[in-house]
Structure 1
Amino acid sequence: MDLTTIIGIIAGLTALIGGFIWEGGHLSGLWEKTAFLIVFGGTFAAVAVSFPINRLRSIPQAFRMAFRRSETNAEQIIDDIVAMGTIARREGVLSLEDQALQHPNNTVREGMMMVVDGTDPELVKQMLDLEMDAIEQKHDSYAKIFEAAGGYSPTMGIIGTVMGLIHVLSNLSDPSSLGPSIAVAFTATLYGVAAANIIYLPIATKIKTRSEEELRIMEMIQYGVLAVQAGENPQILRKKLSSFLLADDSFKSLKTASDAKRGFAHETQE
């Protein structure tokens, strides 16, 4: 479980509610069942209209991606690839079959098995590129669902507020009730904006971040597989693979990965 996602959502809600109470508000004043139904029910309906059923079925998987910590151990994968590279240089790539079949990482397993089968390096690269493209598209579809919800939610809040004001203005016989009634009407806007900026959009961003991390590891594996096939020195290979994980900043890490791939392609052409 990734606690940062849970802590972030709880902290955001706590800050909003705490600030409201600090200013003298009452917690009961933030609860309005009609506004809740309009905003969250309307957002769900809008998302359901926007996406086909097969995309909506992926929502639980998207939640798992946002709230669960990645189980991929990049350092262990580097150790495994370097070990395979050492064996391949000493005994040949055919000796990697058992290790490749038993490896828990799907990309390593498939990549190394293609190497063992004698697949052309360019075809190996193309196959792994296709797999990365498929993963990227799948993750992008996850994020788009929450981005859509983040776009609809504030609008549903405004709709709820307008509906509440219509109800207020249609009944002006009791001026003393106008203030509380207007406050209740604006609760819908609060729900819509808060849900978009504390829940939906942050979850979409977390999914994209997770996707970048996973794709970076897959790029590292692709480079390692091709390097093993080319018979690269294991110690040099370890340093190159480690460069994929050096930078904490995502942009720097992705740039490092891209540069390393271009460098390997240049070496193989030479």
Structure 2
Amino acid sequence: MDLATIIGIILSFGLVISSIVFNGSILIFISVPSLLIVVGGTIGATLVNYPLRSVLGVMGVIKHTFMSKVESPSQIIEQFMEYANRARREGILSLEPIIKDIEDLYLKKGLQLTVDGLEPQAIQEILEKEITYLEGRHETGAEILSTFGAYAPAMGMIGTVIGLILMLQTMDDPSTIGPSMAVALITTFYGAVFANLVFLPMAGKLKQRSKDEVVIKEMVMEGILAISKGENPRIIEEKLTSFLPPKDRRKET
């Protein structure tokens, strides 16, 4: 679980709700018509903008903002040092028995291509294409959430216009002015909250997640290519260590 995402959502919504409770009743800010306008309008507009499959798949994308499964770079270095030393001692074919136990499909595919005897250039082209498609999928997910964030305030403004029209048409009946004005203002409130506390922050988190995952993939590709070329384990370690921030690199003694 990503604590930053959970803490951020709890903190932002908690402070907003607290400010409401301290100055009145939370029930005042509950409006089903306003919610329908914002949520329904945002989803509908997004469906016009993107294919149905992409919009339905956004739930799986949102999951990545709460779940962090990116492997530690230090663990990757340890893995590749084990692979490199084994390949140097027993040959590249000695890696074949351990491939079936690898859970990372990207790493598994790269090692299998290496064991199969493909040239390093061919392996690099295949793995780079995998990274390109990964970036494309992540970019689409982040774009959809950003689109939600753009449409939600617009739907709020539409709700405001609807509320004002209803209010102006019933100015002769003072009892209807309050509910109509409530729909007008609360809809804008809902749109701003959903956009700035949910959709846009999640889009930003997905973009950062994508960058982190791409760096890990590039690190794995570098290790696989080094093994396929038969490079010295010490050189492989130096290459992979260069992906780490300076403060995380092991100090030589």
| TM-score, length-scaled by structure 1 | 0.84
CA displacement 1:35-69 (0-9 Å, x = unmatched): 11111111111112222122123122112212212
Q: Give the whole-Å Cα distance in 1 for the aligned partners of 2:192 and 2:104.
A: 40
Give the drift of 1:230.
2.1
Q: State the partner residue of 2:20.
A: 20
Q: Which runs of 5+ in 1 are unaligned?
A: 249-270
Q: State the partner residue of 1:111.
A: 110
Check whether the contact 2:152–2:191 (CA below 8 A) recurs between aligned residues.
yes
Q: Are 1:226 and 2:225 matched, yes or no?
A: yes
CA displacement 1:94-150 (0-9 Å, x = unmatched): 222112333221121111111112111111110000000111111111111111111
Q: Give the whole-Å Cα distance in 1 for the aligned partners of 2:240 and 2:112.
A: 20
Matches within 5 A, 1:105-184: 105-175=104-174, 178=177, 181-184=180-183
Q: Give the whole-Å Cα distance in 1 for the aligned partners of 2:48 and 2:175.
A: 41
Q: Give the whole-Å Cα distance in 2 for the aligned partners of 1:30 and 1:120.
A: 64
Amino acid at match of 1:16: V
In structure 2, the CA distance between the partners of 1:240 and 1:217, relative to structure 1 (3 Å rule), is same
Check whether the contact 1:132–1:215 (CA below 8 A) recurs between aligned residues.
yes
Q: Give the whole-Å Cα distance in 2 for the aligned partners of 1:44 and 1:159.
A: 14
Is 128-137 or 71-80 further displaced after alignment? 71-80
Q: Give the whole-Å Cα distance in 2 for the aligned partners of 1:75 and 1:244.
A: 10
Q: Give the whole-Å Cα distance in 2 for the aligned partners of 1:149 and 1:6.
A: 20
Q: State the partner residue of 1:41.
A: 40
Q: State the partner residue of 1:265.
A: none
Q: Which runs of 5+ in 2 are unaligned?
A: 248-253
Identity of aligned residues (%): 38
Q: State the partner residue of 1:256.
A: none
Q: State the partner residue of 1:5.
A: 5
Q: Give the whole-Å Cα distance in 2 for the aligned partners of 1:112 and 1:8.
A: 39
Give the drift of 1:190.
0.6
CA RMSD in angstroms comes to 2.1
Amino acid at match of 1:206: K
Amino acid at match of 1:191: Y
Is 57-66 or 139-148 further displaced after alignment? 57-66
Q: State the partner residue of 1:82.
A: 81
Give the drift of 1:221.
0.3
Check whether the contact 2:138–2:210 (CA below 8 A) recurs between aligned residues.
yes
Please list every run of at least 4 consecutive aligned residues from structure 1 whose deviation after the TM superposition is greater than 6 angstroms.
Answer: none
Amino acid at match of 1:201: L
Give the drift of 1:212.
1.0
SS of aligned partner of 2:218: helix
Q: Give the whole-Å Cα distance in 1 for the aligned partners of 2:175 and 2:210.
A: 54
Matches within 5 A, 1:185-196: 185-196=184-195
Q: Give the whole-Å Cα distance in 1 for the aligned partners of 2:136 and 2:14.
A: 34
Q: Give the whole-Å Cα distance in 2 for the aligned partners of 1:146 and 1:70.
A: 21
Q: Give the whole-Å Cα distance in 2 for the aligned partners of 1:33 and 1:54.
A: 28
Check whether the contact 1:101–1:113 (CA below 8 A) recurs between aligned residues.
no
Q: Give the whole-Å Cα distance in 1 for the aligned partners of 2:174 and 2:60.
A: 50
In structure 2, the CA distance between the partners of 1:177 and 1:167, relative to structure 1 (3 Å rule), is closer
Q: Are 1:58 and 2:61 matched, yes or no?
A: no
Q: State the partner residue of 1:208.
A: 207
Check whether the contact 2:163–2:183 (CA below 8 A) recurs between aligned residues.
yes
**How many residue pairs align between the two structures?**
248
Q: Give the whole-Å Cα distance in 2 for the aligned partners of 1:173 and 1:78.
A: 75
| TM-score, length-scaled by structure 2 | 0.90
